[in-house]
Structure 1
Amino acid sequence: MRHISSFDFGLTDFAGRFHQDWGYEGSAEELVGRLLGPETDPSVVEELRSDASLMRSRLTTEEIETLWAAGTGGNFRFGPDGAWPSGSAWLDRISEACDWWLNTYGAPDPQPELAPDLTDAVDAEITAMTASLPEPMDPGRAVAEALHRCVRACSPDLALRWSLRIAGQRRWPLERGQYERLIALGELLEYGEFIVSDVEFLVVGRESEESVWPSATTGSSICT
């Protein structure tokens, strides 16, 4: 299905709101309420609800917490001293808030799911992203294993968006060919313009790549 935003959406987009200074904006509960205002597009609410309910029903609490913690850059912790008691309880709260909003303001029209089955393709890219990571970039391979579970148990779309967000947070390096494959997957999933391109900065050697432009006066090459 085509998404209304050029940027991320659903639960992975919401995770992006929990940056280093999110506590100054209010509690976790208040950020949920702020996202789900009366003027919010129904599609935004439905995408958030769909992601939350899918993860809640098909992943373990540990897997949920692993992906959420990695996707928020470690800025949102669970437990007695954290922002919420557990990952499962957090997704329950998000789903409840979305259900209330949709019942109050109305659900969007159903959208056809036109994307082909990309499970194997996304799973292969998760392997390519994570297989050679040094231990400090994914201790115990917990994130890699949670992503593989997500792609098989939830959906290729959700797993790919988590992969992109976490790669950006943890600065996982990408090869140019892999980045181009991710772009192709994003096109098949009808992603907005910037969902995949936001991680282009991770491409190895990008800073040293030279762009060569012909000189308008001499015809010689100018390297920038």
Structure 2
Amino acid sequence: MTKPHDAYFEDFGLSGLTKYFRHPVARNTAAGLDLAGTLTERYGPVYVQDILTDIQRLAPLPDEVLNTLWLAATEAYVDPVSEGYDIRTWLGRIADICVTRIRQNDPSLISAAPAPEPDPDLREAVLAEIRETAPALTEKAVTSIYAAPLPDVTPALERAVTEVDPDLGFRLYLRALKAYFVPISEARYDRFISLGERFGYHELVVDDGNLNIWSDLVD
């Protein structure tokens, strides 16, 4: 298949942005917006367009799902709602930063194109991985000592896959596994790499060193 993302050697789009939302760099929303501005300047319009596209494609999801996806990807290091933002406004602020950066190069910026028609087999493969790791991910998301319990993480990820785009859903799922350091087996890791190849990812998009792989785990 064509590899639309093979120029990236790390996670990209909104999932790639969220990995930087960590203490002490992004200790609150103000610092988070400064960080987003710095990253959009550093990486340029193509990288920024992918962030904007992800945000625009997520827009039809309900606020509570959007909030869960954000918190799961960042392990709530930055919780916009706790600082007085609603999640849609928060994502809109990040989108505005992206639009400003892109229009430096392309003043005729228009909304992102709709997601391509999903491959049903790819969608089902991602859903299968999410459902199989649901108990472990949910346990970590509920018992984290760093953030409030997040019991609905798996249903939110499933909705991202089924109602938005399996590509984006898979990246957000991987980011949640990394954020909560959920143990996975080597066999599952190999399946993740294979799925990434089918989406056109470099293997470093799938694993940037933050997946928690156990050689003796069978899952």
Fold agreement, TM-score > 0.5: yes
Task: State the AA in 2 paired with 1:156.
Answer: P
Distance 1:200 1:34 in 2: 23
Task: State the identity %.
Answer: 26
Equivalent position of 2:131 in the other structure:
127
2:139 to 115, 125, 136: 136
Equivalent position of 1:189 in the other structure:
199
Task: State the AA in 1 paired with 2:93.
Answer: R
Q: TM-score, normalised by structure 2?
A: 0.79
| CA shift for structure 1 position 174 | 1.4
| Mapped contact 2:196–2:206 kept (Cα < 8 A) | yes
Q: TM-score, normalised by structure 1?
A: 0.78
Extract unaligned runs of 5+ from structure 1.
208-224
Q: How does 1:4-153 map to 2 (within 5 A)?
A: 4-23=7-26, 27-37=31-41, 40-55=43-58, 57-79=59-81, 81-82=82-83, 85-106=85-106, 116-117=119-120, 118-130=122-134, 132-133=135-136, 136-139=139-142, 141-153=151-163
| Mapped contact 2:174–2:206 kept (Cα < 8 A) | yes
Distance 2:131 2:80 in 1: 27
Q: Which runs of 4+ in 1 moved over 6 A?
A: 112-115
Which deviations, in whole Å up to 9, do the C-alpha atoms of 1:117-172 show, x marking residues without a partner?
Answer: 42111111111121x32753233741001000000111111111111111111122
| Larger radius of gyration between Structure 1 and Structure 2 | 1
| CA shift for structure 1 position 100 | 2.5
| Mapped contact 1:8–1:192 kept (Cα < 8 A) | no
Tell me whether 155-164 or 57-66 shows the greater mean CA deviation.
Answer: 57-66
Extract unaligned runs of 5+ from structure 2.
143-149
| Mapped contact 2:26–2:78 kept (Cα < 8 A) | no
| Mapped contact 1:78–1:86 kept (Cα < 8 A) | yes
Number of aligned residue pairs: give it: 199
| CA shift for structure 1 position 116 | 4.1
Task: State the AA in 2 paired with 1:204.
Answer: W
| Mapped contact 1:167–1:199 kept (Cα < 8 A) | no
| CA shift for structure 1 position 44 | 0.2
- Give the secondary structure class of the aligned counterpart of 1:22: coil
Distance 1:205 1:24 in 2: 34
| CA shift for structure 1 position 47 | 0.4
| Mapped contact 2:186–2:214 kept (Cα < 8 A) | yes
| Mapped contact 2:186–2:213 kept (Cα < 8 A) | yes
Aligned pair in 2 of structure 1 residues 34, 181: CA closer, same or farther (>3 Å)? same
Task: State the AA in 1 paired with 2:187.
Answer: G
- Give the secondary structure class of the aligned counterpart of 2:161: helix
- Give the secondary structure class of the aligned counterpart of 1:133: helix
